[in-house]
Amino acid sequence: MTTAELLKSIRSLVAYHKSCGVQHYRRSDALDAGLRLLETVGAEEQSRATKAVDSLSVDMTPAAPACGAGTVTIDELAAEIETCRLCELWQTRNVSTPGKGGPHPDLLVVGEWLEYNPEETSEALFGEQQDLMLSRMIAAIRLRSSEVFITNLIKCSVAQSGRPDANQIATCLGYLKQQIGLLAPRVIVTMGTTTSQALLDSSRPLIALRGRFHQFQVGDGAQIPLMPTFHPTYLLKNPEMKQPTWNDLQAVKKKLDEAPGRH
């Protein structure tokens, strides 16, 4: 990693911490050493890095983070995601999946990750067949494309039959929470076990989580109803589970129709 890339990653991390409500860093030898290291970079890069770091004071007591909307736009965050190098997945990334949809969606749909297939279009988010199934689901509950935003928990494509580890999940979860703060959806649907467990901070199996609403709390204290359900990849292999998924989506539609403040 070059010095410029390192500084870009630091600025991204600091911006994320600020969006989560962090105002202070705990004083440590490692932090002091890192700040001294930054003094060795070129003048222009040093100035940019110092402005970012100096915006957070160094204190003995850290503030409790509470994720909320940051100062960047959803498009700027997508650009940052596409060049992210915060974990090892960037080394094998063929496609980045920051997501797509309306900037102020009623519904946020979060899948797990895209298994890269060179025979499929690079615009797929879940996979070609999976995306087609998802589009039919959304049409069935009578939502327009501008009312929905679709993304993945893991933002880099993953090799077929691959599986992200806990560190990679934690890294991408930070980006996902930023997206939730920026998009402020009225309802979230998580598709798949990994995504549902990550956003709910739960180890319970999907079968025990789905079928009812949970509450996801954003940084400002607001709570967003969250419905876990099955991923289209699972449904393609287990078509008998389409009916329970349809029941979940009908509950989501009812929640949207009942809740005030429709965009």
Q: Could you report the per-residue pLDDT of 175-214, keeping only the tens digit for each? A: 999 999 999 999 999 999 999 999 999 999 999 999 999 9
| 3-class DSSP assignment, residue 111 | strand
Q: Tell me which of 40 and 164 has the higher pLDDT.
A: 164
Identify which of 62, 63, 49 has the alpha carbon closest to the alpha carbon of residue 14: 49
At residue 177, the pLDDT reads: 96
What is the side-by-side order of every strand in the sheet holding 148-152?
Answer: 100-101, 148-152, 107-111, 187-191, 223-229, 214-217
At residue 69, the pLDDT reads: 42
What are the structural domain ranges in the chain?
Answer: 3-59, 74-258
At residue 109, the pLDDT reads: 98
At residue 70, the pLDDT reads: 44
Question: In the predicted model, is pLDDT for residue 245 greater than 90?
Answer: yes
Question: In the predicted model, is pLDDT for residue 10 greater than 80?
Answer: no
Q: How confident is the model at residue 116 (pLDDT cuts 50, 70, 90)?
A: confident
Rounded to two decimals, the pTM is: 0.73
Q: Tell me which of 105 and 32 has the higher pLDDT.
A: 105
| Spatial separation of the C-alpha atoms in residues 8 and 58, rounded to whole Å | 20
- Mean pLDDT to the nearest integer, 225-236: 97
Selecting from 3.40.470.10, 3.10.129.10, 3.40.50.1000, 3.30.300.30, what CATH number does the domain 74-258 have? 3.40.470.10
Please report the DSSP string for 42-68 in residue order. -HHHHHHHHHHHHTSEEESSPPPP---
| Span 12-29, pLDDT tens digits | 555 555 444 444 455 455
- Mean pLDDT to the nearest integer, 132-141: 96
